[in-house]
Amino acid sequence: MRNIMTYIKQNKWKFFATLVLVGGLFFAFNTFNTANSETSEIRHRKLLSTVGRLLESEHYSPKVIDDKFSKEVFDAYLKTLDPEKNILIQSDIDSLKVFATTIDDEIHGAAIQFEPAANAIYERRAKEIKSIFESIIDKPFNFTTDDSLVVDADKMTYAANEAERVKRWNQAIKYKVLDRYVNLLEDREKHAKAKAEKALADTSKIKDTAKDNFIVKTDIELEADARATIKKTYLKRFSLLEKTFDKEKRFESFLNTITGLMDPHTDYFAPVEKRSFTEQMSGTFYGIGAQLTQDDNGVKIASIQPGGAAWKSGLLVVNDVIVKIAQGAEEPVDVSGYETTDAVKLIRGDLGTEVRLTVRKPDGTNKVVVLIREKIVLDEGFARSAIIQNGNEKIGYILLPDFYADFEREDGARCSKDIAKEVEKLKAEKVKGIIIDVRYNGGGSLYEVVQMVGLFIDKGPIVQIRSKEGRSQILADETPGILYDGPLVVMVNEFSASASEIFAAAIQDYKRGLIVGSTSSYGKGTVQRNVAFGKPLDAMGIQTEYGAVKLTFQKFYRVTGSSTQRKGVVPDVVFPDDYEFLKYREKDNPAALPWDEMERAKFSPWTSSSEIASIAAKANNKIKTDTAIIRFKKNLEWVSTQVDKPVALELNKYRLYKKEIQNVIQQNESILKLKTPMTVTSLKADYDKFYNNPDKTKQDRYQAWLKMVAKDNQVSESSKLLTAFAKPNLIAKKG
């Protein structure tokens, strides 16, 4: 297969255009003072205007940044600050309306006024709502009054005054406490029922000495317990907001409000966020080799990777609570109340740099542990395989969570190479067919998906790309031969996006295999590039002084000429799906770019595709006439209609409503549940990873994954589809 340098040479105009774009902006930011010597106001102003110029000049389909756009930013940013419309009041909105048509001027270089003004109001109101909450939560609720809560904020206006805001908070907290209270009532009832049944069934004269640890409490005590739980949850949330949603984070949200109105996939990344994005794409980061978790005590060490920095130090143990994190000798950051993901971002950094953890040991003492960051590979996020035993036949199953690629390192992980290895291992096991699961796979490297499709077709175009200027290009597999030519199924769902859709679309258009899943994939047909701002803060340029913008600058199209934008990929076989009626797809976002099409590419479909149409038709007819699946779809549609309805806050009505929802959900779970789990085993080549892994916690997770696959109804149905194919050749023609 081609290496990346060959690919760059063959597509040099595309890479050159990108380098010119990045280079120009890099130079522009280098003319600024360094970030440490300028005020945040000056930095924000320069950053905003540079982002604005980038959007106007380089976005694939830029909106005009004018008064109309300004009004959209105004509304969207206030929604970001106050998504539930229970922080700000109408007079706050009215006082800010003077800026509704001037934000475009700020983007074009005028002094920033709107965001600081909104910021000041937000800070004041945020302190008030904490006081409001504390005044509400310590008083018992009356669940006998016929009241209700509107949960859809889009159907609400801002509170007319402070009294109405207090009322909204009272209803919102009452709802949370009511839900918890009902759960406690149900637990008490279940215990009483189980105790009564045991008493009736006990015909023995021998006294049962087993201790019953369940404490039966009164309604008043349960209501108090419910309030105590909700109080703890909300106070933690308030603390987290105070620490993490500071002025800088709110300004980043302001920038993302602007970029997000261009299209849903153009984003601003602050320096730390850009590093996190790069780590996710590459599957490699620099850290201490410890997995974190969270409980009531805070962020804790959940496990320690053998051979890692934490393990070699001998100073950290499981259940150590991380209290503070410092970058070398810098002032430590108190992470009490932090979410695990926020603490992880502080622990990770550049190779060979120092991080200092202040940890609270299980005995209550505090200790400062100094560690040097080392390379960590997130191999659990890479492709993995299993064998499904379907009668006398073996079916290969490959999970691909992301189209990952680490082009920064010569030995970096690449999903196309990993998939090729998994296919070779499955061929050695003599499988009847292969399932490739890209459900929940949000995409990744465009280059990698082209290479991956090439494993399953002889050669030909894979995807077409068009720039904002209308220039088009075909990315093709140019290497003759096939690694695997046996029966193939690709699994998708609503969350399969971008590169996942390119892969599924190419397999479908070439009639190379069956696509199975929900009524359509996500519908993201756009291509993004990271445009870095400012000087690099590390040797590899992963983290830069002013962060970066992930910019939409191209659209991609199927070889048939049709875009996947908004429409996604429609599977050959449609399975029932839990999320079908929820609005998660690209088409549900008003800022999404439109669907269109371009000229069809020249390609030859798979010569052995006659079985696919027949197998798909039989499967779809079976699904359409299955009474259980018909009931499943009706249940799902009913549940989706309940999502935005007002919720009753009267105890009996709420219990009835909740019971109705639970019954329907349980019915649907029963419909999709496999009566008997499949027999799923690891590959012979992977036995040590699953059963002799030096990292026992990782081993447990791998084994748990096998059990999860064994219970997956859609995987089961996909494996049955593969058994309908004729005997495969399984010959290697590409290497």
User: What are the backbone angles phi and psi of residue 253, rounded to the nearest 5°?
Assistant: -65, -40
Which pLDDT tens digit goes with each residue over 454-484?
999 999 999 999 999 999 999 999 988 999 9
Q: Which residue, chain included where needed, has tokens 């099409």?
A: 597
Confidence label for 97 from pLDDT (cuts 50, 70 and 90): very high
Output Rg (C-alpha) for the chain, integer angstroms.
Answer: 28
* Structural domains of the chain, count: 2
Which pLDDT tens digit goes with each residue over 124-152?
999 999 999 999 999 999 999 999 999 88
pLDDT at 18 over 80: no
Which pLDDT tens digit goes with each residue over 533-570?
877 655 555 556 788 899 999 999 999 999 999 999 99
Confidence label for 12 from pLDDT (cuts 50, 70 and 90): very low
Quick one: pLDDT at residue 583? 86
Which residue from 427, 420, 567, 422 is spatially nearest to 501, judged by alpha carbons? 567
361, 377, 393 - which closes a domain: 377
Is 307 found in the same domain as 363?
A: yes
* Residue 178 and residue 143 in contact, taking contact as beta carbons nearer than 8 Å: yes
Is 458 found in the same domain as 340?
A: no
Q: Quick check: is 550 in a domain?
A: no
How is 142-183 classified by DSSP, letter by letter?
-TTS--EE---GGG-PPBSSHHHHHHHHHHHHHHHHHHHHHH
Is 401 found in the same domain as 369?
A: no
Tokens of 390: 């379907």
d(CA 723, CA 347): 48
Quick one: pLDDT at residue 19? 28
From the CB of residue 584, how many other CB atoms can be counted at a distance below 10 Å? 13
Quick one: pLDDT at residue 37? 55
Is 518 found in the same domain as 423?
A: yes
pLDDT at 735 over 60: no
Quick one: pLDDT at residue 587? 96
Tokens of 232: 């703890």
Q: Quick check: is 586 in a domain?
A: yes
Quick one: pLDDT at residue 644? 80
Is 288 found in the same domain as 412?
A: no
Is 501 found in the same domain as 353?
A: no
Torsion of CA 513, 514, 518, 522, to 10 degrees: 20
Q: Percentage of the chain with pLDDT > 90?
A: 66
654 or 285, which is more confident: 654
* Residue 319 and residue 326 in contact, taking contact as beta carbons nearer than 8 Å: no
Which pLDDT tens digit goes with each residue over 602-618?
999 987 667 899 999 99
* Residue 584 and residue 497 in contact, taking contact as beta carbons nearer than 8 Å: no
pLDDT at 32 over 50: no
377, 394, 423 - which closes a domain: 377
Is 699 found in the same domain as 561?
A: yes
pLDDT at 339 over 50: yes
Range of the domain at 353: 284-377
Q: Give the chain's end-to-end CA distance (angstroms, integer).
A: 7
Instruction: Tell the burial category of 101 from Cβ atoms under 10 Å away from its Cβ (0-12, 13-18, 19+).
Output: middle
Residues in the chain: 735
From the CB of residue 630, how many other CB atoms can be counted at a distance below 10 Å? 14
List 532's β-bridge partners, or say none: 548
d(CA 427, CA 430): 5
Distances (CA, A) of 192 to 91, 212, 349, 655: 52, 11, 53, 18
- Which CATH number does the domain housing residue 337 bear? 2.30.42.10
Confidence label for 4 from pLDDT (cuts 50, 70 and 90): very low
Confidence label for 31 from pLDDT (cuts 50, 70 and 90): very low
Amino acid letter, residue 278:
T
Between 23-27, 152-156, 189-193, the lowest mean confidence (pLDDT) is in 23-27
Q: Quick check: is 158 in a domain?
A: no
Confidence label for 686 from pLDDT (cuts 50, 70 and 90): very high
Q: Quick check: is 234 in a domain?
A: no
Q: Percentage of the chain with pLDDT > 70?
A: 89
Task: Name every residue whose Cβ is closer than 8 Å to that of residue 370 and which is 6 or more positions away in sequence.
Answer: 354, 355, 356
Between 52-61, 277-286, 429-438, the lowest mean confidence (pLDDT) is in 277-286
Task: Name every residue whose Cβ is closer than 8 Å to that of residue 298 and which is 6 or more positions away in sequence.
Answer: 321, 322, 323, 335, 336, 337, 338
326, 360, 377 - which closes a domain: 377
Which residue from 494, 670, 490 is spatially nearest to 579, judged by alpha carbons? 494
Instruction: Give the pLDDT mean for 486-509.
Output: 97
Confidence label for 730 from pLDDT (cuts 50, 70 and 90): very low
Q: Which residue, chain included where needed, has tokens 């960590």?
A: 376
Is 422 found in the same domain as 517?
A: yes
Confidence label for 204 from pLDDT (cuts 50, 70 and 90): low
291 or 24, which is more confident: 291
Mean pLDDT (the chain) is 88
Instruction: Give the pLDDT mean for 239-260.
Output: 92
| Plot region of 486 (φ>0 → left; ψ -120 to 50 → alpha; else → beta) | beta
Quick one: pLDDT at residue 676? 94
Quick one: pLDDT at residue 210? 53
545 or 493, which is more confident: 493
Tokens of 261: 């109105």
pLDDT at 325 over 50: yes
Q: Quick check: is 177 in a domain?
A: no
Identify the helix (H) or strand (E) that includes residue 390: strand 384-390
* Residue 659 and residue 609 in contact, taking contact as beta carbons nearer than 8 Å: no
List 356's β-bridge partners, or say none: 326, 370
Is 706 found in the same domain as 567?
A: yes
d(CA 686, CA 644): 47
How is 284-336 classified by DSSP, letter by letter?
EEEE-SEEEEEETTEEEEEEE-TTSHHHHH----TTPEEEEEEETTSPPEE-T
pLDDT at 10 over 60: no
Instruction: Give the pLDDT mean for 633-650.
Output: 89
pLDDT at 409 over 80: no
Is 515 found in the same domain as 497?
A: yes
DSSP 8-state code for residue 381: G
Is 601 found in the same domain as 711?
A: yes
- Which CATH number does the domain housing residue 644 bear? 3.90.226.10
Quick one: pLDDT at residue 697? 85
Confidence label for 34 from pLDDT (cuts 50, 70 and 90): very low
Is 513 found in the same domain as 483?
A: yes
pLDDT at 364 over 90: no
Confidence label for 585 from pLDDT (cuts 50, 70 and 90): very high
Confidence label for 412 from pLDDT (cuts 50, 70 and 90): confident
